Amino acid sequence: MKTPPSEGSKGHAGSSDGAVNEAERQLLLEISKSLLSGSLATTRGAVQMLQALSGLLLTSYTTLLVGFGQRLNIGKIHPILLGLPIAFYTISLLISFGQVFFYRGAHFALGDLESGLKAYEEVISEQRRQLVWPLVFLVGGLVSVTVVIAELLHSH
């Protein structure tokens, strides 16, 4: 005579499914953490690179302006035009430092894979947006240096 499976064996099968689901969830969590960590490190590196480049260009331009100002006869160029690169580079630095300093982070809840990927995309998108304004002002500084150089060459 066969006996029906006991309740204990059903519970055991259910706990095995629960263990698989928990293992999948843990794996998704680790994958998400790795992806997020790598992407944030890349974005953080880009911010640091922009800050370093802005600082280097600001220092170089100021040094060249002070060091060669008399030889290049910069008195013929309007002072506002001469100051634009300094203003652009300084604003770029201030914005990037301010965004890093005042960044409040992002809130996301772990759940299924779809919601985890959506949260991941939101965090990365927010980090990338922090690069836009410093980059705009860095390019503005480069353009204004080009204009200053063109004016210096035109005046000679």
Band (146; pLDDT cuts 50, 70, 90) = very high
Token representation of residue 2: 């066969």
pLDDT digits (tens, 9 = 90+) for 52-107: 999 999 999 999 888 888 888 888 889 999 999 999 999 999 998 888 777 766 66
Of 117, 111, 59, residue with least CA distance to 85: 59
**143 vs 147: CA distance, rounded Å:** 6
Query: Looking at the predicted structure, is the pLDDT value of residue 12 above 50?
Result: no
Query: Looking at the predicted structure, is the pLDDT value of residue 45 above 70?
Result: yes
Band (5; pLDDT cuts 50, 70, 90) = very low
Which range has the worst mean pLDDT, 33-47, 123-137, 138-152?
Answer: 33-47
- Is residue 18 situated within a structural domain? yes
**8 vs 26: CA distance, rounded Å:** 26
Could you write out the three-class secondary structure of 11-70? HHHHHHHHHHHHHHHHHHHHHHHHHHHHHHHHHHHHHHHHHHHHHHHHHHHHHHHHHHHH
- Is residue 45 situated within a structural domain? yes
Per the structure, the complete domain to which residue 143 belongs is given by 7-155
DSSP per-residue letters across 77-123 = S-HHHHHHHHHHHHHHHHHHHHHHHH---------SHHHHHHHHHHH
- Is residue 97 situated within a structural domain? yes
- Give the number of domains in the chain: 1
- Is residue 2 situated within a structural domain? no
- Mean pLDDT of all residues in 141-151: 94
